[in-house]
Structure 1
Amino acid sequence: MAFGALEPAPGLAALGVTGLAAFGVARLWLGNLRRLTEALRQAADDHGPVPALEGPLLLPSIAEIGETARRLARALASQAEQVARLRQADAAIIERLPDPLVVLDETGAALRANGAARTLFGSGQGGAPGGDLAALLRHPALAEAVASARAAGLPQRADIALPVPVMRELTVHAVPLDPPLSDGGRLLLLLSDRTRDRAVERMRVDFVANASHELRTPLASVIGFIDTLRGPAKDDPEAQARFLGIMADQAERMRRLIDDLLGLSRIEVTEHQPPTGRVDLATLAAAEAEAMAPILAPRGATVALALTPGTVAAPADAGQIGQVLRNLLENAARYGREGGTIRLSVAPAEPGTRWPARPGVVLTVQDEGPGIPRQHIPRLTERFYRVDRGRGRSIGGTGLGLAIVKHIVNRHRGVLLIESEEGVGSTFRVWLPAEG
């Protein structure tokens, strides 16, 4: 046997070729997987579609995986777009609900609110209400309703009165959410502002009670004096004269009250209809002040006039504006200082002040009375409301004069402003529209 160069065995050669082929396929797989990974990462970073894999050495299986990933990404994007549209629709519906709505998270903090809630409480950051919402969330009745709603998983109701910054009465429905909203909302607060409704109801009850009381007192007085005149005083001319005088005063009081009630009803019927016509306010004010002299005389009051000629209110009803003047002058005489001065002025409204921007005229009546405590001023125009009930009745007031003034001013689309300083006096200003 001759010794020469060794030749590789056929098996070893085949094994080497197989290893090289496997190594090549592995590198190709790894390269394809790296390209697929980069494509998926790019799609994730850009929040876009998965880019197509291209190249001469792309394995069919990797191409199929890439195509499946693209189809899956398109399906997920379509679903995400649909969910986004649904969320936008839900948000739009919630935003346009007329009643305030607040969403709370697991800890009870406000996440977001609709437009009505932001109007009610003021706007905070991120669309959440601000301002007075903290006072509402701290209210014991609301805290109890929220806790009960979470424990029972059922809606709960609470009636809440918020005293600051102004008195408000709210009805709150606490509605638990299971499952929670996508933003972590676990509970809805549906709020109804009942302040106006409760105030109207109280005013209605007060009106019936006060009207009955105002009529009952003089009526009982008249009936009592009639019984006296029929009995013990039937042969006493002096007592008869005195009692008949008192009866006449009480009958006059009832007549004024009924006239004011009927007048107020007539004004309210036409309050929605703006007046027509023009009124020379300076001329009318001078005439009404002169006509009021017999009524002002018993109090020793005098009227100081400061009237700008040619001051015209339009559109305006001369009869109703005259009624406003009479009621304000009579009010100043009754509640002002005895022997004091009532200042009546008429002038064009100054631009850039507290009045509306359009042209207008201002009628002012100022007295030298004891003044009105600040807490009473918002209620002065309510029917039968008096700061001093005993004094108001004793000087012949019906308690309806300022209510009539308010409704007439409302019909003229005007503004009534009441200012007072205790110990100094009160000022009543009426802004009326004028020709532009």
Structure 2
Amino acid sequence: MAKQTSSPSTKRSLQNDAPVAGRSTSSVPVNQPVSEPPSSKTLSRVPRQLGSGVSIASSSAPSPDDSQWARPIDHVAFRPRASATIAGMLTIFLAIWFSSLTSDSPTAIIVVAAASCFLVGTITIVHNLLRWENAESVYEKERSAAEIWHSKFLRLYSQWERTTSVLSHMTDGIIMLSPELNIVLINEAARHLLALPSDRTYLGRKFSEIIRIPEIIRAVKQTDADSTAAGINVEIVDGHTVRPIAVRINPMGTIDRPHMLLVLNDETERQRLEAIRREFIANVSHELKTPLAAIKGYAETVELAIEDDPEAAIHFISQIDDQCRRLEALIADMMKLARAQSGPDTLRIRSIDLHEIIRQAMNTFLPVAAAKEIELSVTRQASTDDDTEKSRCMVTGDEEALLTITQNLVSNAIRHTPQNGQIAIHCYPDDKGVVLAVEDNGVGIAPEYQERIFERFYRVENTRKTHDGGTGIGLSIVKNLVRALNGNIQVISSPGQGARFEVWLPSPST
């Protein structure tokens, strides 16, 4: 009996078909490309830190380095075609048997046997070629499908990274709760606003265990019960700081799996601006009320005295005129302040000779200074060439704004300089621009008040007169205009030693 032997290729094929201990035996159909999406089982479901400040408890973010998604198929196993082998062996046997019947020559029998073997070998080779062409086709389909999924995976990962980056850089706090009210997402801003330690893990924990603020807990439970948005304001104590927080609670997700989103806003700056607005309105009301009350009183007095004492009536009419002028000045300054606070958009910027601005201010205030016997002078840095741009103190600015700055500084110095005092206006270039300085030898300003004098309606008690004829917003106008011109201002002063206000302004060459 002939002994049948298996070829090496057949052994390898059989080995590939047999299960191997410790290795998955699942196979992919050869004629069907893989088109299923990646199973969720391949994603670990543990909390993971994402980005630089976002924690999320859900399926871990996919990694573009997971090669299993795009791993090519290195080999496709095929079962051997036993029928082809049997047919080939049968052909050889029949050929030799038929030759032995028709011919007695051993040579003829050998030739027939050799031809039959050649024919069987050719058939086997052709069969193998066709089989491997089919394998290559399957391999290309599998690789194409893997590349498609890998591309989708990279897009998903990119979107994931962008989302976590946005959340980690938000100034508003974001907290997401699961239907069981467990924390599934919290960003760094939320931890900061709620004064939570950043080195602890909060994902997967009950919200009420982490946020021990009764108002927030009640609002969350109410939103969970009726699925309606809610908003509350709370105060968080962080050490010695009390931080006002606005909390907005919104239901989200599907009806059967509702989630909840909490958005936290720091209200500190808004409340500060609101307090400034209220203070400004109160100050304006007070400043307007004082001259209006005086005008009303003088008018009533004039009505009574116009027949009995005409000279007194004339005096009171003069006082009414003074109060009207004060009102006019206050309204004008408020309009200037509004213009200054609107920024550079309302300014007409061009190159201006600052000495011309100083000359106009001198013409306005020389009579006022002379009435108080105050010496008002201008100093100018010496220059070898008076025609150079530096010697002319050219600046980049708005003419009306520069005139307002100079006039307000000179007016402030005159009001706070005693009789027989001295005021000097300096203008000189430095390495980066031009300096305008107004210096007096008046009462001076204590260091603790030097920052606040630029606030609206702020007056220094004891050192500078309360009722000095000013509106209280002149220096605030100066500061805002200087800022709009990309300059800066500082005050150098000591009590009893006078004050020096220095304004730096950019030059055209800056």
Q: Which TM-score tier does this pair reach, normalised by the shorter chain?
A: 0.5 to 0.7
Unaligned runs of 5+ in 1: 1-23, 61-66, 113-127, 180-184, 352-359
Is the contact made by 1:296 and 1:333 (CA closer than 8 Å) also made in structure 2?
yes
Q: Which residue of 2 aligns with 1:256?
A: 329
TM-score by length of 2: 0.54
Is the contact made by 2:252 and 2:261 (CA closer than 8 Å) also made in structure 1?
yes
Q: Deviations over 1:325-365 (max 9, x none)?
A: 111111122235665544432222444xxxxxxxx322223
Instruction: Give the direction of change, closer, same or farther, for the CA distance of 1:222–1:50 in structure 2 (3 Å limit).
Output: closer
Higher alpha-carbon deviation: 328-337 or 296-305: 296-305
Secondary structure of the residue aligned to 2:246 is strand
Q: Which residue of 1 aligns with 2:40?
A: none
CA distance in structure 2 between the aligned counterparts of 1:432 and 1:166, rounded to whole angstroms: 38
CA distance in structure 2 between the aligned counterparts of 1:30 and 1:425, rounded to whole angstroms: 101
Q: Deviations over 1:388-422 (max 9, x none)?
A: 599766210112322432454355x2324244656
Q: Deviations over 1:147-175 (max 9, x none)?
A: 34554447653446789999986534356
Structure 2 residue identity aligned to 1:328: L
Q: Which residue of 1 aligns with 2:398?
A: 317
Is the contact made by 2:70 and 2:149 (CA closer than 8 Å) also made in structure 1?
no
Q: Which residue of 2 aligns with 1:147?
A: 217
Is the contact made by 2:409 and 2:438 (CA closer than 8 Å) also made in structure 1?
yes
Residue 137 in structure 1 maps to residue 211 in structure 2? no
Q: Deviations over 1:186-231 (max 9, x none)?
A: 96434265735862x5555545544443233223223323322332
Is the contact made by 2:243 and 2:266 (CA closer than 8 Å) also made in structure 1?
no
Q: Deviations over 1:3-49 (max 9, x none)?
A: xxxxxxxxxxxxxxxxxxxxx9xx96998525845999xxx996565
Aligned pairs (5 A) from 1:200-349: 201-231=274-304, 234-236=307-309, 239-240=312-313, 242-261=315-334, 263=336, 272-285=345-358, 288-289=361-362, 291-297=364-370, 301-303=374-376, 305-308=378-381, 310-336=391-417, 340-349=421-430
Q: Deviations over 1:275-308 (max 9, x none)?
A: 2443222453355346423323455544464433
Instruction: Give the direction of change, closer, same or farther, for the CA distance of 1:53–1:237 in structure 2 (3 Å limit).
Output: closer
Secondary structure of the residue aligned to 1:137 is coil
CA distance in structure 2 between the aligned counterparts of 1:346 and 1:54, rounded to whole angstroms: 87
Instruction: Give the direction of change, closer, same or farther, for the CA distance of 1:47–1:312 in structure 2 (3 Å limit).
Output: farther
Q: Which residue of 2 aligns with 1:363?
A: 436
Instruction: Give the direction of change, closer, same or farther, for the CA distance of 1:166–1:254 in structure 2 (3 Å limit).
Output: farther
Structure 2 residue identity aligned to 1:228: T
Is the contact made by 2:348 and 2:397 (CA closer than 8 Å) also made in structure 1?
yes
Q: Which residue of 2 aligns with 1:398?
A: 471
Structure 2 residue identity aligned to 1:296: A
Instruction: Give the direction of change, closer, same or farther, for the CA distance of 1:109–1:81 in structure 2 (3 Å limit).
Output: closer
CA distance in structure 1 between the aligned counterparts of 2:478 and 2:161, rounded to whole angstroms: 49
Q: Which residue of 2 aligns with 1:33?
A: 20
Aligned pairs (5 A) from 1:69-84: 81=154, 83-84=156-157
Structure 1 residue identity aligned to 2:404: Q
Secondary structure of the residue aligned to 1:218 is helix
Instruction: Give the direction of change, closer, same or farther, for the CA distance of 1:79–1:435 in structure 2 (3 Å limit).
Output: closer
CA distance in structure 2 between the aligned counterparts of 1:47 and 1:36, rounded to whole angstroms: 16
Q: Which residue of 2 aligns with 1:380?
A: 454
Instruction: Give the direction of change, closer, same or farther, for the CA distance of 1:92–1:129 in structure 2 (3 Å limit).
Output: closer
Structure 2 residue identity aligned to 1:246: Q
Structure 1 residue identity aligned to 2:246: T
Structure 2 residue identity aligned to 1:369: V
Is the contact made by 2:247 and 2:263 (CA closer than 8 Å) also made in structure 1?
yes
Is the contact made by 1:311 and 1:361 (CA closer than 8 Å) also made in structure 2?
no
Instruction: Give the direction of change, closer, same or farther, for the CA distance of 1:278–1:53 in structure 2 (3 Å limit).
Output: closer
Structure 2 residue identity aligned to 1:333: I
Secondary structure of the residue aligned to 2:20 is helix
CA distance in structure 1 between the aligned counterparts of 2:503 and 2:235, rounded to whole angstroms: 33
Structure 1 residue identity aligned to 2:231: R
Is the contact made by 1:299 and 1:338 (CA closer than 8 Å) also made in structure 2?
yes
CA distance in structure 2 between the aligned counterparts of 1:395 and 1:109, rounded to whole angstroms: 63
TM-score by length of 1: 0.61
RMSD: 5.6
Identity %: 23
Residue 430 in structure 1 maps to residue 503 in structure 2? yes
Is the contact made by 1:276 and 1:315 (CA closer than 8 Å) also made in structure 2?
yes
Higher alpha-carbon deviation: 364-373 or 31-40: 31-40
CA distance in structure 1 between the aligned counterparts of 2:417 and 2:176, rounded to whole angstroms: 54
Structure 2 residue identity aligned to 1:321: L
CA distance in structure 1 between the aligned counterparts of 2:346 and 2:245, rounded to whole angstroms: 33
Secondary structure of the residue aligned to 2:397 is coil
Compute the displacement of 1:274 (Å): 3.6
Aligned pairs (5 A) from 1:180-219: 188-191=262-265, 195=269, 199=273, 201-219=274-292
CA distance in structure 1 between the aligned counterparts of 2:404 and 2:164, rounded to whole angstroms: 52
Q: Deviations over 1:110-165 (max 9, x none)?
A: 953xxxxxxxxxxxxxxx459xx646536xx9944543455444765344678999
Secondary structure of the residue aligned to 1:272 is helix
Structure 2 residue identity aligned to 1:137: A
Q: Which residue of 2 aligns with 1:21?
A: none
Structure 1 residue identity aligned to 2:380: L
Equivalent residue pairs, number: 373
CA distance in structure 2 between the aligned counterparts of 1:255 and 1:239, rounded to whole angstroms: 24
Higher alpha-carbon deviation: 296-305 or 210-219: 296-305
CA distance in structure 1 between the aligned counterparts of 2:462 and 2:335, rounded to whole angstroms: 22
Instruction: Give the direction of change, closer, same or farther, for the CA distance of 1:371–1:253 in structure 2 (3 Å limit).
Output: same
Q: Which residue of 1 aligns with 2:110?
A: none
